[in-house]
Amino acid sequence: MRGLAIIMGVCALGLAVPSAGLAARLVGGRTERAIARAFSAQRSHRGQAIVSIRTSSVNGTWAVVRSVTPQAAGQKRSGATPALQSTYYHLVRGQARPQPPPRAVRADLARDFRVQVVYAGSGRESIAYQQKDVSACPGAGFFTDQETDTVTPMTWSVRYVVNLDDLLSAVRGRGGTTLVPNVSFDFASSHVSATETISRSVQDVGCNGRATTFACTMTFAAGGPDPGGQLSFPAGSGLEAGVPVAARSQGACDPDNFTLGPSLWDSGAATALVGQLPLLGGTLPAQPYAPVKVAWPGGSAEQAQSFAASPCQGDGAVCTDAFAWRGTVSLQPVSAS
């Protein structure tokens, strides 16, 4: 469904009522496309947007499409959240046929459906700045300004839980339809370990001045004011996963003490844009739960969206910034309750 922000769904085959640990799973590839075509072909679904598609763990030949009728941009909807509708399909020889499912299958597909987004990565950053200028005094020597900034270690593994049956909003505008699911951050299963060490030394040798040194240490842990907001679904771009951090500082950390701006790590350049996992506005791959590799610069949302700014501020003659990270983004099932 072109222009829509779509969240898909799959599942393992089964022959009996599933245990408490089994749940429907996301589906992608040909199966997802066949179900989406069958849904769009029904006149009763005109004006609706697909929210999720998943198959049953009781019997994998049955699937459900959860859909919503979006409101027009600027329109106010009564009620707390948009109402979702369920349409069931029987998969036979590659075709999806609308048909009421058996009772056990319906109960299985009616369970609250959630999926985890897991973003893990590691790397380091090293910045060096050295500037010589004319002294303010007539004596021999320059005014020197030196600064170093390193971020190491730099590792993270963060988890977000997306509830595809709890839609916060569904709005249709000129640019298409935007669906916003409920996202929560899993503090217990997430960790971030990063230390940034900044040092600056300023000295006017011509004035026989002594060196003035500023030192700051920043430590980062998982958290922040809105960690769940670090996961988003830009329409047509796949999935965007950031590293939510809470920072602690020690030393002379006033920004006025330093020449350089925030490091790329500290300014969010570890945010990954994953076009292969279009939970909103696209089609999932045949194996939706396979990890997708991301890295700087190609997998960074900051780089891809062309608003990354180096702390060297374009002054490559006196400043270098070596920044690199690698990681994976994957979807993981959440056990049924």
Note the pLDDT tens digit of each residue in 127-166: 999 999 888 888 788 899 999 999 999 999 999 999 999 9
Chain centroid, CA 299 distance in Å: 11
Strand pairing category for 212-222 and 176-185: unpaired
How confident is the model at residue 79, as a pLDDT? 54
3-state secondary structure at position 257: helix
Chain centroid, CA 140 distance in Å: 54
Least confident of 70-84, 87-101, 200-214: 70-84
Peptide bond into 297 cis (omega under 30): yes
Q: How many whole angstroms separate alpha carbon 200 and alpha carbon 261?
A: 12
Q: How many whole angstroms separate alpha carbon 62 and alpha carbon 56?
A: 6
3-state secondary structure at position 276: coil
CA 64, 66, 70: angle at the middle one, nearest 5? 160
The residue among 327, 332, 262 whose CA lies nearest residue 115 is: 332
Read off the pLDDT of residues 277-297 as tens digits, 9 standing for 90 and up: 988 767 899 999 999 999 988
Strand pairing category for 25-26 and 71-72: unpaired
Q: How many whole angstroms separate alpha carbon 35 and alpha carbon 204?
A: 72
Q: How many whole angstroms separate alpha carbon 328 and alpha carbon 139?
A: 56
State the average pLDDT over residues 64-70: 93
The residue among 174, 177, 171, 175 whose CA lies nearest residue 81 is: 171
Strand pairing category for 71-72 and 212-222: unpaired
pLDDT band at residue 212, thresholds of 50, 70 and 90? Answer: very high
Q: Which residues are within 8 A (CB) of 42 and not within 5 positions of it... i.e. 6 or more apart?
A: 87, 98
Domain boundaries, the chain: 25-111, 115-333
pLDDT band at residue 302, thresholds of 50, 70 and 90? Answer: confident
How confident is the model at residue 190, as a pLDDT? 97
Tokens of 248: 């602690």
**109-139 burial: b if 16+ Cβ within 10 Å, else e:** bebebbbbbbbbbbbbbebbbebeeebeeee
How confident is the model at residue 304, as a pLDDT? 74
Instruction: Give the DSSP letter string of 59-76.
Output: -TTEEEEEEE-PEETTPP
Q: How many whole angstroms separate alpha carbon 218 and alpha carbon 196?
A: 5
How confident is the model at residue 235, as a pLDDT? 74
Q: How many whole angstroms separate alpha carbon 106 and alpha carbon 120?
A: 35
pLDDT band at residue 1, thresholds of 50, 70 and 90? Answer: very low
Q: How many whole angstroms separate alpha carbon 227 and alpha carbon 229?
A: 5
How confident is the model at residue 55, as a pLDDT? 93
